[in-house]
A = this chain, B = another copy of it.
Amino acid sequence: MTERIHATYWLETGVDPLLAADVIAGEQSSGTFVALPTETPELKARSGARVERLDILGRAAHPSLPGGIESKVYTQCALELSWPIGNLGPSLPNLMSTIAGNLFELRQVSGLRLTGLRLPPSFARAYPGPAFGIEGTRRLAGVARGPLIGTIIKPSVGLSPDETAQQVRELVAGGIDFIKDDELQGDGPHCPFDERVRAVMRVVNEHADRTGKKAMVAFNLTGDLDQMKRRHDLVLAEGGTCVMAVLNSIGLVGMHELRRHSQLPIHAHRAGWGYLSRSPQLGWDYAPWQMIWRLAGADHLHVNGLRNKFSEPDDSVIDAARAVLAPVMPEAPMPAMPVFSSGQTGLQAADTYAAIGCADLIHTAGGGIFGHPGGVATGVEALREAWVAAIEGVPLERHAERNPALRAALGFWR
């Protein structure tokens, strides 16, 4: 039996939903607006996308998006389509054109969102997935259990390489596990990548030589391909243990090439995710999106955080984190590490742990660490202890009774 690709959508349409589903299936495979004599029944049976499921969810009086066929009622449905692998082969770029191409522009559509993806094993043979994932990240960061406690260099841009290194000095002295560049900090003239890496790694290596603990620093090497390769090589040569790339900025080919070249975990930032997802009736859910990038090689994937300072609700954050922790497919789990950030403190530890059932994650906090009256080291300790409490199932207040760092943190976290 031939392999098939399955994608699910939330669909809203002003026409008969069965017709809309057929139009989408046709547009994304052998059909076109006008029936062609060359689209024979045999060709359609072999190459046509198939409507596997169409469940009516509800109806609305107004269309979610403009430009569609006008109607008195708009039907909302769960749609599942499938494609034979013969149409495109196990190619991630061509998968994108197939499951997320012209279909969003159809007039039979007044809302369309890609909600799920199921790929056949040939994709796992064609793409390597994360080279390090959870286990490799833990090994390089020297964190065997619990989350990696992390932070982001702030201000996002504007610090010189030396000022950045100064901030890193304070952080590694405080025992932090993970530090990342902001996604805006690449290789600008004011803070050139090479100088920044050298200055920061001097601090990180000195601390590691002295204490045996080397913090993982995700240097944002986002750029053109040659630049990314050269920057990666510098990080590796300087003893660094992680690189970071902004997925929407480099694209699938960039990620695939970076993965092929990299000897370090790839910290994958999703900046731009808002324009792909903020309209609930358009674009992408995180589950199918992150699956594509994991196949291409992302080791860490951002998922925002509970009670974050952005517009994303908590249930969406948890769905995203669970998706990153779920197997890409039974034959090839390709585990990656979710990264929680934005407005994070120890107060979110227990809820986060309860929702995802493990601590295989990076938890980054800014104010939640730097704001601690006892300083960075105490801030890091407090966040770590909040996770100890979460994992042991001890209420935060009770755990704080025997931990002064946590006790002091509760005051300013709230």
Residues of A in contact with B (beta carbons under 8 Å apart) = 28-34, 36, 38-39, 43-44, 46-48, 65-68, 85-89, 91-94, 96-98, 100-107, 109, 112, 114, 154-159, 163, 167, 183-184, 186-190, 222-225, 227-228, 246, 248-257, 269, 271-276, 278-284, 304, 309-313, 342-343, 366-367, 370-371
Contact B39 A104 (CB under 8 A): no
Q: Which of B222, B281, B284, B343 is in CB contact (< 8 Å) with A33?
A: B343
**A187 and B275 in contact (CB under 8 A), knowing A102-B310, A155-B32, A155-B39?**
no
Contact B183 A97 (CB under 8 A): yes
Contact B186 A104 (CB under 8 A): no
Q: Give the Cβ gap from A252 to chain B, nearest Cβ, in Å.
A: 5
A282 to B277, CA, bound (A): 9
Contact A311 B109 (CB under 8 A): yes
A254's closest neighbor in chain B, by CB? B253
A370 to B97, CA, bound (A): 26
Q: Which of B104, B105, B114, B222 is in CB contact (< 8 Å) with A94?
A: B222
**A225 and B167 in contact (CB under 8 A), knowing A184-B101, A271-B97, A311-B107?**
no
Contact A253 B224 (CB under 8 A): yes
Contact B36 A155 (CB under 8 A): yes
Contacts of A93 in B (CB 8 A): 186, 222-224, 246, 249-250, 254
Contact B272 A104 (CB under 8 A): yes
Q: Which of A66, A68, A155 gathers most chain B CB within 10 Å?
A: A155
Contacts of A85 in B (CB 8 A): 188-189
Q: Give the Cβ gap from A409 to chain B, nearest Cβ, in Å.
A: 15
Closest 5 CB pairs of A and B: A251-B251, A104-B274, A253-B254, A67-B311, A47-B158
Given contacts A44-B158, A85-B188, A103-B274, 6 further A-B contacts (CB under 8 A): A93-B249, A97-B248, A97-B269, A105-B310, A105-B312, A254-B254
